[in-house]
Structure formats: structure tokens, C-alpha cells
Chains A and B, each alone.
Chain A
């Protein structure tokens, strides 16, 4: 859209989660930086969160209401397909020209997906070269979505009164928050680990430079943390949610307890510790697999994004479990957020990562940071040992690697891993 001030508004990034919806619209300013046009966050009522149909019906109403009330420009949205309908498989193919990969993926798809792929949409991401024994193979991440599921989702969005500009998948949208801000040549070799901790589940996205190398969903989310707190303290889920939120806000505002240990905080910490550690172990497996399978730089840090990312207790536990430091991602730190509501601008705003990535799908970038991009110049750059892992699921991939997880020394190096053991279903393309 051509405007007189040359600012280019982007489509609305629509993030329909399990706990609510987030809508974020960005615009590219004449200085090639980003500014928020409008942002809105609505939470589902507690009784509809557990039911998919009720949740979607509520989402339709919330989207309609939000579009009416908030100053969004246009009704074009970029939405992410729900994780439940996106099937992900990893394929290891022989080395071949990029033009032939598409044919190979289409050829192999009927063998790896449990449904008729002629009635599904198949796309792939080239993950990179992996060593398998003495061979070098090409790993691709294949995404498949049934046409019926896409049509149903489109119909839902259509009922909400929006015009769908594009349908994306969450890993790509999340990684776009990194991809669109890469400006320097050395950043194109930097490994980024994004962990999106959502309400129902989480997912790990690892990429180097502009390319995604690894995607893995983890069935642990804020919902389990909330249930654990409710069970431990004998309160309802809503009370547990309110308690966790209050604790997060008090920690974010830096409230002091006078050196005493807050028993409530400690109880919540104890209740969520086991689940958070389980999440940490899953992430550590992902890191281990990445380090073993892919050559090049190793990840230097991990960024937590998503609705549960601002939980400092979770961050503490992950820092204790993981070999690399976990930090809370700030996806909007390089954008002008002055038009957002004050209540939405509090904290690191890591919950907006998916919506930001969706909103930037039509923008090319790279975008200039508002006040400079902080970079870690001391990120480790050690070659990892090549491996011969043959795993088709991300879950199977990471579980095929045995070794100590979560108990690395303070140096937190994942370079010295044991030779991975082949496990799980093997599909050689």
C-alpha cells in the first residue's frame, strides 16, 4: 500500500494460541526500521480453553471485536497454522541439486506421512548438510498439512471477518524475528536457539544465520506448570494462574522480600521445578542433537519466547539444566512500540514473538535496529563432531542421542558429546 508518508503497513500477525489471541501489526518506516501500528491481546475465558471448538468460536468473536476496537489498518492477516494440524518429518536425502529436492520430497512424502499426501500441502525447509557415517547427506524438514484442515481453518478465519494474506507455520514465523534483523555478515553464521514456551506446548527452533536447521515440538507448556502449582498448593487453576502472574510481575518490578524467602514463591518454584526440568532436558537433547548433527558454530545462548517465557523461575531452572544460558527474548526491542498500550509494553514482551514474525512475512528486511543490536562477540565458534544419526522425527532425532543432560559443568560446553546411538525409526531416502 502506498502512503503519503511512505510508511508501509504490514499485514496483521494473528497468533491464535491456547490461552488467547494476539494481533500485531507493524509498519516499515522510511528509515527502514519497524514500528508497531496496533497491537491487541485477548485472553480466552477459562471454560473454553480446554475445548478446541469453543476456543475457535471464541477466537472468532475476539478477532471481530479486536478489529472493531483497535486501530488496525486493513483486515489482511498472516496467520499461523495450528500446531495440531501441521505434520513435521525430517528426511535425509542424498546430495542433490536444490532443484531436485522438491521432487525427492514429493516422492518420499507418501511413505512418511500417515495420510494421503495428494490431498495435502507439502513444503520443506532445507535443514543443511549432515554427516552420516562417511557420507554427507542433505537433511530437509518436511511439513505437511491436510487440505481439509487448511480449508477448515480458512473458513474459521473467514468467519472472523479477516482477509488471509498468507498462512504460515509457527517455526518459520518465530525464526523470522531473527532472520529479518540479520544485517552483518558474521551474524549469518551465528546459531540461534528459540524456545517458544506456550500455554499448551513448547517448541524448539534452531537455525544458523537465516536458515532453520531444526524444529521440535515439546509437549510441555504453561498449562502443566499451572496445574502443578494448583495441585501443590491445593488451589484452583484460575487461582494458580493469578498467583503465578502476580509472582512474575513482582519479580519483573524488582520487589524485594527483605532477604527472607517468600514461602509462596518457594512453593510455586518447587511445584514447577520438575516440569521445567523436564522441559530443560528436552531442550538439552535438541541442543545435543544439533551440535552432533550439524557442523559449524554452536549455539551460544538460548532465547525464550512465548507467553510463558517471562517466567523468571522457568528461566532459572533452564539456566540450571541447560549447557548454555537461557535469556528471555525481546522480539520488539528494536521496534518502536510507542503506539502499544502501556499494559502491553511491560516486561520483555516475549509473548509477541510469533505475532511479530507473522506480521513481518511480507516484509523483506533487514530492518535497522532502533538503538543498535546488542551482539555477543564472545560466542563460541567450535566445530562439532559430525554424526551419523538417522532419525526422521525431531523427537526421535533428539532421543537417539544418549549422554548426560542438564548436568554439564559451569563451562556449559556441549561440544564434548558422546557419539550418538542410532535409535528409532529409520527412513533413508
Chain B
């Protein structure tokens, strides 16, 4: 059968155009929504990056401050190292009064000192050539320094002398405590024991003296 069509030609064109307008409207809507979404995401990313940047700037500022403080500390350390080197070269200074106080605290009450002498002795430290070069490069001391003390005193008995030597040893400040002399001595018809004791203080490691005696400055 021959099919007849009475639909005007403009109607399919209108429908097609309407569909196109609809598609374009949808596409425009989708595009606008996409752009809005993209803009929003970009803004959010920018805000997030700004916050991160701000945080990083804070951290950098803080690191700069710390770096500045570190530089200052390094400067101080350098100064202290220089001082320390000088001190190590010169050795620790131990005040004689403090040594006397330490000896006096170790002495029993019935003992008396007759003679006191103290001198600093330096002994070259035996090193191989390489170790000596390394020590010289690191500004390390190459000699052992000691404060050698020699005292002579009198006491009523040998027990007093023994207690004195024990107190010296227990004080922790002195080492190499040696008895060099012991003999009787009569003074004003009183019989006493005269003795001589030598001991020393290691000036390379004088922290014990500083700690026990309030430090040496």
C-alpha cells in the first residue's frame, strides 16, 4: 500500500531543531556545571595550597629562627671550643686554697701539717706519628699534666696517719697516694710520728675537683 504522509515538512525540522536546542541546552548546562565545579575545585585547591604555603612559610620562619639560634650556638660553641683548647693546653687551674681545704677535710683533728708543696708536672704522652698528627689536628693535648703535692706532718700515732691516707683516697680527688716518710719525733717531751705523703691530681681530667669543690672557673 502506498503510504501517504500529511505531516508538514516543517514539523520534523522543528522537532529536530527542538531536539538540538534541548541537547545544546543540556550540553550548556553540563558545561556550566562543569566549569562551576572546576572553578570550585580550583578555588579549593588554591585555598588548600595557600594554607599549605602559609604553614610552610611559618615552618620556614621557625626554621630560620632556629637556624639563627643554632648559628649563635655554633658561634658560642666555637668560642667555647677555643677556650677549651686553651684550657686544655694550659691545663686546669686548681686553686691551692681548694686543695688545702680538701686536705684539711681529710686530716684528723690531732694531726698537723709541717710542710706543703705543690707543683705541676707535664709528661709527654707516648704516641705514634699518626696519632700525634691526628691529635695535633684536633687540638688535643699531647702531654699529661699532673699536680704533684707533697705534705709533711705530725700525728700522735700511726693510726692517725693511716686514717689521713684513707680519707685522702676516699675523697676521690687525689690519686697515687704514697707514704714517703715516717719517723718518730720528740717535741717538748712529747713523742709524735712525723710522716711525709705524696699524692697528685690529674689536671687532664679535673672534673672531679670541679664537682667536689664547686668547680674551677
Contacts and interface: CB of A to CB of B under 8 A. Distances in A.
Contact of B6 (A123, A163, A176): A123
A207 B1 CA distance: 10
A166 B1 contact: no
A210 B15 CA distance: 32
A117 interface: no
A248 interface: no
Contacts of B1: 172, 175-176, 179, 207, 210-212
A175 B1 CA distance: 9
Interface string B32-64: 000000000000000000000000000000000
Interface in A153-177: 154, 163-169, 172, 175-176
A113 interface: no
A123 to B, nearest CB: 4
Contacts of A150: 6-8
Contact of B4 (A125, A151, A165): A125
B3 interface: yes
B8 A168 contact: no
A101 to B, nearest CB: 11
Contact of A169 (B4, B11, B15): B4
Interface in A8-65: none
Given A172-B1, A211-B1, A167 B15 contact: no
A293 interface: no
B217 interface: no
Contacts of A361: 3
A416 B154 CA distance: 181
Contact of B8 (A126, A147, A176, A211): A147
Interface residues of A, number: 27
Contact of A168 (B2, B4, B11, B15): B4
Interface residues of B, number: 10
A18 B43 CA distance: 64
Nearest to B15: A163
Interface string A189-222: 0000000000000000001001110000000000
Nearest to B7: A167
B5 interface: yes
A245 B2 CA distance: 37
Interface in B56-78: none
B3 A81 contact: no
A210 B3 CA distance: 11
Contacts of B6: 81, 121, 123, 143, 145, 150, 167-169
A165 B7 CA distance: 8
Contacts of A166: 5, 7
A154 B4 contact: no
B8 A151 contact: yes
11 contacts: A81-B6, A121-B6, A125-B4, A145-B6, A168-B5, A169-B4, A172-B1, A176-B1, A211-B1, A212-B1, A361-B3
Across the A-B interface, the 10 shortest Cβ-Cβ residue pairs: A167-B6, A123-B4, A167-B7, A179-B1, A210-B1, A121-B6, A166-B7, A145-B6, A125-B2, A172-B4
Interface of A: 81, 121, 123, 125-126, 143, 145, 147, 150-151, 154, 163-169, 172, 175-176, 179, 207, 210-212, 361
Given A145-B6, A166-B7, A179-B1, 18 more contacts: A121-B6, A121-B8, A123-B4, A123-B5, A123-B6, A150-B7, A154-B7, A154-B8, A166-B5, A167-B5, A167-B7, A168-B4, A168-B5, A172-B1, A172-B3, A175-B1, A210-B1, A212-B1
